Every structure is written in C-alpha cells, then in structure tokens.
Structure 1
Amino acid sequence: MIEVGSREWLRATLALSLGSFLVFLNLYQTHPLLPMLASRFSISSLYSSWTLAGCTAGLAFALLVCARLADRFGRRRVMLWTLAGAIALSLIASLVEQFESLVVLRILQGMLLAGLPATAIAYMGEEFNRRALISAVGIYIAANSLGGIAGRVLGGLLAGWFDSWHATFLGIGIISVLLFPLVVWLLPVQRNFTPTQASPGQLRLALGSHLRNPLLVGAYFIGGLNFLVFLNQFSYLTFLLSAEPFALPPQWLGMLFLTYLSGTLASSISGRCAQRIGAEQLLLVGIALMALGGVLLLGQTLAFILGGLLVSSFGFFLAHACASAWVGQHVEHNRALASSLYLVAYYLGASLGGFYLHPFWERGQLPGLVLGIELVLLVTAGLSLWLARQKAHRDQPLAI
C-alpha cells in the first residue's frame, strides 16, 4: 500500500488533484455567466441556471455507470478517457448558437465529467493505506475547490473581456487540452485493482447493502443537502450583484468565487482536524460555520456578502471533506459504488437547489434566500448528531 510522503503518493495525489481541477474547471465555467446568458437569450434566472444544473445533473446520473465501468475496466482508464471527452465538449460548446443546444452539450459534458469523481476515492482506497487516504482526500478536495474557483473566475474574465460567453468555453477548453497530458503522465497504473464483472442482480444487492447502512446514508444526505444550498446561493447572488446598486459585470462576478479559497484551506487541514477532534464533531463545526456565513449575508453590503461567503465556504468544504472521507472509512466492499452514491446525492443537491431556493428568492429576495439556507442547515445539523449516535451505537461492545 502507498504511504504518505512516498514518491508514488506524491505522483498519484498530484495527478488526481490536477484531474479534479480540470473536472471542476469545466463544470463551473458557466456559473458567473448566468446573468449574461439570461440577458442574451431573454430567459429567466431559473432557466439560465440549466447551463449549470444540467451539467451537474448529467454528472449525478452518470456516476453509477462510471463506477461500474471502473470496476470492470480499471479506475485509471475510465478517469482518463471520460476526462478527455469532457474537454472536447468544451471546445464544441464554443461553436453553438442556440441555448437549447448549449444545455444539451452541458448535460453530455456532465456525464463525461463523472468519470473521475466516480472513481478517484476508490482508487485511493485501494492503493493508499488509511493515513495516506485521509491526507490525500483533503488535498484532492482542495483541488476540487481550486478548479471550481478557476472555472468561475476565468469564465467571468473571458466573458467580460470579449463580451461573449463563447470565449469562456474556448479559453477553458484550450487550457484543459494543455494540462491533460500531465495527468496522463503522472497517474500511476493501479497495483491492487482486480477487475470484476457484475453478475445479474449484483448491482441491486450492492446498492441495497450501502443504502441499508445508516453510517453511509447519513453522510449521503448531509453532503447532498449542504451542497444544495451552498452552491445555489452563489447563483442567486450573481443576479443580486449584477443588478443595481452593485451592477457588477461578468469579470467581477467571477471574482466573487475567490471566496472559495477559504474552502481550499479548510479541505487541506480537514484530515488533521478530524484526527484531533473526531470526524463527527468536525462535521457539525462545518455546518455551524455555514449557518453563520448565511446570517452574515443579511448585512446586504458587498463587505458582508463577501465575508459571509468566506465563512460559508470554509464551513462547507470542512464538512464535505469530512463526509467524503467518512464514506471511504465505513465501507468494506464496492468502494467505487459507495463513493459514487455519495456524489450522486451531492450533485443531485446541486441540480435541485435552484428549484428549492427559487420561491424563497422570488418572495423574499436576499432575506428569503437566507431563510431557505438556514432551514436546510438545521436538517443537516440534526443528521450529523444522528450519525454520531449511530456510530457510537455500532462501536459499543456487546455485553457478555
């Protein structure tokens, strides 16, 4: 097994982190463009969000398929081929003119982007020892946030500089093409992978086993619900900040997502924090920080909004890193499937959050948005307490 600090650990962690960076670079490139797309195509804020929600939905629904393909053909092969296809679709999207065509391409791109997230944690779980896995997951998720930041910031800058959303897809596609060969070169071939051919009913049995495990189901709900409100608060805030009195152009809306940098920090230290205070406690701390960040948004000035997003980002990625590692530590079989189920819940939350928050936004604007966020965080805080009790009950020795 690969150990922390070894040459193989460095290569594999860097390759997976760079690949993850490219996934989220491409996934979130339309996030700061939503007001521009709504204006250019004369559509509503909810409809324009389908360029993001459609991509995350495609990713969510393809995760299980990619996980099963990875079980049969290998993690490395699935990760590399799907990532190459997703990058090609960014270049193709720069050529389309119809909004419906753009949404279709984004859904297909999301399906291909699922390949790496569906299998990366399983790759680490098979190749790394426990300590190496915990450390690598934190770095890997930090790369997720960096990719999300870069996609949004570059997406906004390119659209603002060239006054065209086409420039965003072209520029990010070119950057991805240049970086992809480095992922191929760095990622080691697996040594501990054993191909498996799914027999009839095997997937159903494996799914049933994971979905009957409360230690996994609790983490799935927490990850999905937290992301439901965290991601989509940014979507509605771009519309708030693009209107008067702020009137920020796309390049400045992209800069809004630099607040994710606090999440990058949180992900990178999550492993050490979990070892010190316990994963259950750290999960609750992350949710509490998200709730505090939501309250700060009510200041309704740019300074309060940025401060609230910094706090919320730190809390969200702390909780996300903790929940992701939790799944890896509490599963003994079908690791790729277990990790994929977490990500299915996670990205379904991303896709559905716009619909959930829309009535809060329409009726109450920013205060309504914050109310919708806090209601969900009350639920996930309760789930985290329930999860801790389930683990304590399972770990309790049987009386003789």
Structure 2
Amino acid sequence: MPSRRDAKSATPAATTRDAQSWVEPGTPAYRRVAMALFLAGFATFSLIYCVQPLLPAFSDDFAVSPTQSSLALSLTTGFLAFSILLAGAASEAFGRRRLMFVSMCAASVLNIADAFIPNWHVLLVARALEGFVLGGVPAVAMAYLAEEIHPRGLGLAMGLYVSGTAFGGMAGRVGVGLLTEFSSWEVALGVLGGLDLLAAIGFFILLPPSRNFTTKPGFQLAYHIDAWAKHLRHPALPFLFVIGALSMGCFVTVYNYAGFRLVADPYNLGQGAISLIFMVYLFGIAASSIAGGLADKHGRGPVMAVGILVALAGVALTLLGSIYGVIAGIIVLTSGFFMAHSVASGWVGRMAKQSKGHASSLYLLSYYLGSSVMGSIGGWFWTHGGWSAVAGFAGALLVMALLISGHLWRYARRVETRAV
C-alpha cells in the first residue's frame, strides 16, 4: 500500500487519469518493463565501470600515475554527464525506447573496439566517446519508469532498475577482473562488449512502447531550456541533484583507490582477488530493491537519510587495518549508497510534475559529474595522504549529503502538513 505521504504528493492529474494508461504492479507488462530496464541498467553500468579494477593494470602497462589511470573512468562518466542533458532532450523527439536501444548498441561496439587500442590517449578518447553515447540510457530510463509505472509501484520498479545497475557494475568489474587474471584486459573488454550487445537486443524485445508519452518532432531549444530552468527553480529538486553528486563522488572515490591500496603492502592481492571484492555489489542489489519498497511505504526522506548514514559507517570501517574490516566497510558503504541512490532517483520522478526526462537528466548530470570530478580529486588525497586521507574526503562528502537530506525530509513533511 502507498504511504499517506505519497498519496498526498500525487498530482491531481495522476489521480484522474485512466487507470488503463498505467503499467500496473503485478501484471505481465510490469514484469516485462522491470526485466527490460534491469538489462538496460546491467549493460550501462557494466560498460561504464568495467575499467575500474583495471586502473592498477593501466598504470603499469601505460606507465601513468594512479590519478592519470583514473581518467579511463572519469572521462567516461564526465562525458556521460553532459550527454545525458542532450539525450533527455533528444528522447522527446526520437522516443524513449528507440534512443535507449541505439545507445546501448553503440556503447557495446565501442567497448569491443577498446580491446584493439594499444595507445593510452586513443583509449581515453574511446572511453570518452563510450560515455557520450551511453547518455541515452540513464535519464531516459528514469523518465520512462516515472511516466509508465503506476505511482504505487514506482518505488519498487526504480529499485529493480537500480538493482540492474548494481548487478551490471558488479559483473563488469568482477568479470573483467577475472578474465584479465587468466587472459588479458583486452580480451576481457571485448567479451563484455559482446555480452552487452546481446543485452541490448533483449531489452528492445522486452520493453513495451510508451503509453503516456508522445514524441515532439524537432529540437525546440527554448522548450528544453525552459524545462531545465523550471526544475532548477524548484524548492527541493536541486537539493536532490546535489545529494546525487556527493554520494556518487564518495562511492567512486572509495572504489577507485581501494584497488591501489589492496595491491600494495600489507595485502598484496592479485587482480583476480581484488575483482572478487566487487561481489559485494550483491548487497547493493538487495539494498536498492528493499529501499525502493520501504520508500513507497514509509516515505523517501527517512529512508534516504538512513542510507547515507549506513554509507558513512562503511567509510569509517574501511579505516580498519584488517582485510576483513576493509571488505566489511565496502559492503556497508555499497549497501548504504544504493539505498540513498534508489530513493533519490525515484524521488526526482515524483517531484517533477512535468518534463520528467529533463528532471532526470539534471539529476544524472550532477550524479556523474560527482563521479568524474570527485573520483579524480580522490587521487590527490591517495597520493598525498594515503587511505586515511581518501576516507576523510569520502566521509566529508557524505556528511554534506546527510545535512542536505535532513533539509529535504523537513521539506517533505511541510508539504504533507499543508496538504492535510
């Protein structure tokens, strides 16, 4: 059952629309949408993050510093951040389903091409292009769910989509790491690109065409600028955008430099062993689905705040010297991060009363800029202060996110009070 808060926040239009236009929870169409978006999340995030366990290998093979090697990921997420704005606007003209499919296919082909690039700078160009073409998936996926899924099932559907992103992030990291251990990183990237091409085909077959969205032919620049500006003037949406940037910046920073820490003394782990640590993403998969359901029942403010607190506890645990403490910290951080991200991404779709694709694109612009900028800045902390400096930087980002989440929680309560 939806919470009173969510019922009160539903728009009058949503309550009067024909129920036949929604994809209802528990129906075959709902399951097809959930599976299709799971595949989209899997393909997108496996392609983005497959290079993360390879950063120490890139540093050795191409004779670059840890901060420079992180560009293989930071350029991808940076170009992804800006392309999301364009993709959100483009989907208004070309349609949600078609754009997501083309983006997944193009990125998969580029990942296969990465396997044949022997030059560091050319590889960085290819990774930047991969991020750019992937922009057609994340913002559009969030908008599709917000438009098509009945409000009482949106939290769970968004949680399942985020679960797909978590599974893709895990599979990309673990699979590529293990294949690199037994063959080479070139073979690993090529195999992953082929698998994600198959995922794109499955996505297109499963996803139903939009029911509640009509394309708007042509590119109307004034319309898009006005839509983005309205969301930026919203009293709460910009705070969600900042939370996305801060939480993702913390998460990527920890994952980027954990590998460098674990290959060195006193751990001396190999590539395969390090990649297996990314299996902790399974906890993120479970946490995002659970958080989505809890947000539907109890409201998004408290669940998001709890997620950030859990992530902060995880960062603190990574300061322990024991390998078991480090792994426990990464597990707790991963669970808390995906709780917060699942709730925040679903909340964007509920707060935005119109032009949901534009709202989603602004959230993900902030989210991936946080990943790109803060993930690379974390390299400075690693180089100059070791892991304690990295953990301090990551923790500070989460403290700021927690303070902002408190403001959003109070805002939601005021809105509920006025609606009564």
Shared fold (TM-score, shorter chain, > 0.5): yes
Distance in 2 (alpha carbons) for counterparts of 1:265 and 1:135: 12
Q: TM-score, normalised by structure 2?
A: 0.92
Q: Of 279, 291, 316, which aligns to 2:312? A: 291
Whether the 8 Å contact between 2:244 and 2:366 is mirrored in structure 1 is yes
Q: Of 159, 172, 175, which aligns to 2:192? A: 172
List aligned pairs for 1:164-203, cutoff 5 A.
164-196=184-216, 197-203=218-224
Is structure 2 residue 68 aligned with structure 1 residue 47? Answer: yes
Query: 1:322 aligns to what?
Result: 343
- Stretches of 4+ moved more than 4 A in 1? none
Query: 2:8 aligns to what?
Result: none
| Ranges in structure 2 where 5+ consecutive residues have no aligned partner | 1-21
Q: Deviations over 1:202-250 (max 9, x none)?
A: 2221111101113211111001100001112111110010112222222
| Identical amino acids, percent of aligned pairs | 34
The two structures, once aligned, show a CA RMSD in angstroms of 1.5
With over 3 angstroms needed to count, the CA separation of the structure-2 counterparts of 1:275 and 1:15, relative to structure 1, is: closer
1:15 corresponds to which letter in structure 2?
Answer: A
**SS of residue matched to 1:299:** coil
| Higher mean C-alpha deviation, range 376-385 or range 352-361 | 352-361
Query: 1:232 aligns to what?
Result: 253
List aligned pairs for 1:1-400, cutoff 5 A.
1-162=22-183, 164-196=184-216, 197-397=218-418
With over 3 angstroms needed to count, the CA separation of the structure-2 counterparts of 1:190 and 1:34, relative to structure 1, is: same
Whether the 8 Å contact between 2:167 and 2:281 is mirrored in structure 1 is yes
Distance in 2 (alpha carbons) for counterparts of 1:337 and 1:52: 25
Please state how far the C-alpha of 1:354 moved relative to its aligned partner.
Answer: 2.5
Distance in 1 (alpha carbons) for counterparts of 2:124 and 2:100: 23
Please state how far the C-alpha of 1:124 moved relative to its aligned partner.
Answer: 1.4
2:268 corresponds to which letter in structure 1?
Answer: A
With over 3 angstroms needed to count, the CA separation of the structure-2 counterparts of 1:317 and 1:329, relative to structure 1, is: same
Please state how far the C-alpha of 1:393 moved relative to its aligned partner.
Answer: 3.2
Please state how far the C-alpha of 1:317 moved relative to its aligned partner.
Answer: 0.3
**SS of residue matched to 1:189:** coil
**SS of residue matched to 1:298:** coil
Distance in 2 (alpha carbons) for counterparts of 1:200 and 1:344: 18
Whether the 8 Å contact between 2:152 and 2:296 is mirrored in structure 1 is no
With over 3 angstroms needed to count, the CA separation of the structure-2 counterparts of 1:394 and 1:178, relative to structure 1, is: closer
Please state how far the C-alpha of 1:184 moved relative to its aligned partner.
Answer: 1.7
2:97 corresponds to which letter in structure 1?
Answer: R
**SS of residue matched to 2:64:** coil
Distance in 1 (alpha carbons) for counterparts of 2:419 and 2:117: 63
| Higher mean C-alpha deviation, range 344-353 or range 357-366 | 357-366
**SS of residue matched to 2:385:** helix
With over 3 angstroms needed to count, the CA separation of the structure-2 counterparts of 1:305 and 1:94, relative to structure 1, is: same
Distance in 2 (alpha carbons) for counterparts of 1:268 and 1:102: 35
Please state how far the C-alpha of 1:20 moved relative to its aligned partner.
Answer: 1.3
Please state how far the C-alpha of 1:198 moved relative to its aligned partner.
Answer: 4.7
1:118 corresponds to which letter in structure 2?
Answer: A
Please state how far the C-alpha of 1:69 moved relative to its aligned partner.
Answer: 0.9
**SS of residue matched to 2:319:** helix
**SS of residue matched to 1:115:** coil
Q: Deviations over 1:32-72 (max 9, x none)?
A: 00001000111000000111111111111100111111111
Query: 2:18 aligns to what?
Result: none
**SS of residue matched to 2:236:** helix
Whether the 8 Å contact between 2:155 and 2:296 is mirrored in structure 1 is no
| Ranges in structure 1 where 5+ consecutive residues have no aligned partner | none
Q: Deviations over 1:306-362 (max 9, x none)?
A: 000111111000000010111011011111010111111101111011333233222
